[in-house]
């Protein structure tokens, strides 16, 4: 991620090998939509690498402080595809629950010339929102613009009837449901357009807290008849309507009905994503790309290029990950670009980025995929006979992700509820298998003073389990010694031989 024209922010794991920082000459930085396998440009070389001083991850398990800075020999050229990450000033306070316009500021590309981005409060009003048959306009609060238009205020009025925002009712009821709406608006430049061109474009990112709703809108300004009384918005230098709003319409959107999904190891999953465009088609050609980003590393998973006019022979598919698929018919009919992944592995876990390119426009959604596998739990003993102290082992095997909690309990014959052992024994180190799953054992020393009839339980909690899983063993009384007294009798027989005279 570029944070200035000479600085890249990345994960420390990207620049550490065998617990040592890689040499500067082995690092090349490519910015924007780039295929490093075909791009013949040399990239930008690193001048120095600075890793967080407390990063320490020799076993690839602890990703605390996994952050690093790379200083570049040459500056980055920023454009509509390569933009800086907005970093707040050192003394900034971030206020949640507010809507804002993000824009490039003075000093873009420099470390000392002012903030690279500014955040300005803004209001987004959605007009002509599609309602379900159960909805009533009387239950909704209409947007009322200021009685006196103010050119200092940023008020976006967006027509959203075509294309309609999927599941827009979530936005309508967010306030009543006490759900926080996240909204960020930024200036957008389609490929090949000039920054000062008319109409102007904006990108809007919308999501709702604790709800599976996320969409990115591309807004286009609509025509406003200008005369001497027309107000110009002071910051954006764009004409305002008579009510003081910036008139726009949605021309393209990319959405997802899920933000995060969990799926079992060796199972299948559907990653939901879709797009819509205005009735007047922006382009007949559409490019779809799914990428996976995890722990600082990324790779292409699936790519499709097709035409929306249903022309035969124009669909090109690159299945980079075996077992990934998309239904071309659904793409053409509904803009459904959901991706199916079969036979999931641990390496499939991470952040999936669904990107749609439609003519000069592109937008994306981000979905988190978590791989889970419940542990197999077993005890080392089927029954426990205590003549002396004995070690009981609880084996938890082939689970994912790493964190599993093991707890020992006992229930004596006189009790009705189990009690946690005061001494929880010892844990073995984690063992990672070839498929990425883990195993671990817990060892409990059981004293011979434990009463017969006591039930000892190993209870395991893991994210893949809806409820903790338990296995138990009973303490049994030792059998009395069996003494076999054998009396051995020895019969001595004398043989007398009679010899005739």
What does the pLDDT average to over 136-156?
83
219, pLDDT greater than 90: yes
What pLDDT, on the 0 to 100 scale, is given for residue 101? 59
What pLDDT, on the 0 to 100 scale, is given for residue 197? 65
Residue 104 near residue 123, CB atoms below 8 Å: no
61, pLDDT greater than 80: no
Q: For domain 283-372, which CATH number applies: 2.40.30.40, 1.10.3720.10, 2.60.40.10, 3.40.50.300?
A: 2.60.40.10
What does the pLDDT average to over 134-138?
66
Of the listed ranges 16-25, 400-409, 442-451, the least confidently predicted one is: 16-25
Ranges 183-192, 306-315, 487-496, most confident: 183-192
What does the pLDDT average to over 96-100?
56
Would you identify the CATH topology of the domain 376-476?
Immunoglobulin-like (2.60.40)
Q: What percent of the chain has pLDDT over 70?
A: 81
Find how far residue 405's CA is from the centre of its chain.
23
Residue 301 near residue 292, CB atoms below 8 Å: yes
495, pLDDT greater than 60: no
**Per-residue pLDDT reduced to its tens digit, 297-308:** 789 999 999 988
What pLDDT, on the 0 to 100 scale, is given for residue 78? 64
In the chain, CATH 2.40.10.10 covers 2-72
What pLDDT, on the 0 to 100 scale, is given for residue 267? 97
**Per-residue pLDDT reduced to its tens digit, 336-366:** 999 999 999 999 999 999 999 998 899 999 9
Choice between 289 and 134, residue whose per-residue pLDDT is larger? 289
What does the pLDDT average to over 270-283?
89
What pLDDT, on the 0 to 100 scale, is given for residue 21? 86
Burial code (b: 16+ CB inside 10 Å, e: under 16) for 236-253 equals bebbbbeebbbbbbbbbb
Would you identify the CATH topology of the domain 2-72?
Thrombin, subunit H (2.40.10)
CA dihedral of 278, 282, 287, 288, whole degrees rounded to 10:
-10
In the chain, CATH 2.60.40.10 covers 283-372, 376-476
How sure is the predictor about 66, in pLDDT bands with cuts at 50, 70 and 90?
confident
279, pLDDT greater than 80: yes
CA distance 168 to 124: 14
Choice between 477 and 63, residue whose per-residue pLDDT is larger? 477
């Amino acid at each position: 991620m570029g944070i200035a024209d000479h600085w890249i922010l990345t994960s420390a794991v990207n620049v550490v090998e065998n617990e040592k920082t890689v040499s500067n000459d082995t690092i090349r930085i490519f910015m924007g939509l780039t295929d490093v396998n075909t791009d013949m440009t040399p990239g930008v070389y690193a001048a120095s690498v600075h890793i967080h001083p407390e990063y320490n991850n020799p076993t690839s398990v602890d990703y605390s402080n996994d952050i690093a800075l790379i200083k570049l020999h040459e500056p980055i050229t920023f454009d509509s595809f390569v933009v800086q990450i907005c970093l707040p000033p050192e003394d900034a306070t971030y206020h949640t629950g507010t809507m804002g316009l993000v824009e490039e500021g003075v000093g873009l590309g420099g470390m000392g010339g002012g903030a690279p981005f500014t955040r300005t409060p803004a209001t987004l009003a959605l007009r002509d929102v599609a309602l379900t048959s159960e909805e009533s306009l009387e239950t909704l609060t209409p947007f009322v613009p200021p009685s006196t238009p103010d050119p200092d205020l940023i008020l976006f009025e967006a027509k959203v009837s075509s294309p309609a925002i999927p599941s827009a009712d979530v936005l309508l009821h967010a306030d009543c449901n006490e759900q926080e709406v996240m909204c960020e608006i930024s200036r957008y430049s389609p490929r090949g357009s000039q920054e000062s061109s008319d109409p102007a474009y904006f990108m809007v990112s919308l999501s709702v807290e604790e709800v599976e709703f996320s969409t990115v809108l591309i807004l286009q300004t609509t025509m406003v008849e200008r005369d001497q009384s027309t107000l110009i918005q002071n910051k954006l230098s764009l004409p305002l309507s008579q009510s003081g709003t910036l008139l726009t319409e949605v021309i393209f959107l990319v959405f997802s009905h899920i933000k995060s999904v969990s799926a079992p190891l060796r199972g299948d999953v559907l990653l939901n994503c879709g797009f819509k465009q205005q009735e007047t088609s922006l382009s007949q050609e559409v490019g779809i790309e799914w990428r996976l980003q995890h722990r600082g590393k990324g790779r292409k998973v699936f790519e499709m290029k097709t035409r929306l006019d249903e022309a035969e022979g124009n669909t090109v598919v690159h299945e980079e990950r075996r077992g990934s698929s998309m239904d071309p018919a659904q793409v053409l009919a509904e803009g459904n670009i959901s991706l199916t992944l079969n036979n999931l592995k641990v390496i499939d876990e991470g952040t999936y980025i669904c990107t749609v390119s439609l003519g000069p426009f592109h937008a994306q959604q981000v979905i988190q995929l978590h791989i889970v596998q419940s542990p197999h739990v077993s005890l080392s003993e089927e029954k426990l006979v205590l003549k002396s102290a004995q070690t009981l082992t609880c084996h938890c095997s082939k689970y994912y992700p790493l964190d599993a909690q093991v707890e020992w309990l006992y229930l004596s014959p006189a009790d009705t509820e189990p009690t946690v052992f005061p001494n929880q024994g010892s844990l073995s180190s984690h063992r990672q298998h070839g498929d990425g799953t883990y195993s671990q054992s817990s060892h409990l020393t059981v004293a011979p003073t434990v009463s017969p009839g006591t039930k000892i339980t190993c209870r395991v909690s893991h994210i893949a389990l809806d409820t903790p899983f338990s296995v138990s063993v009973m303490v049994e009384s030792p059998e009395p010694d069996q003494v076999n007294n054998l009396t051995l009798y020895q019969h001595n027989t004398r043989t007398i031989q009679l010899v005739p005279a």
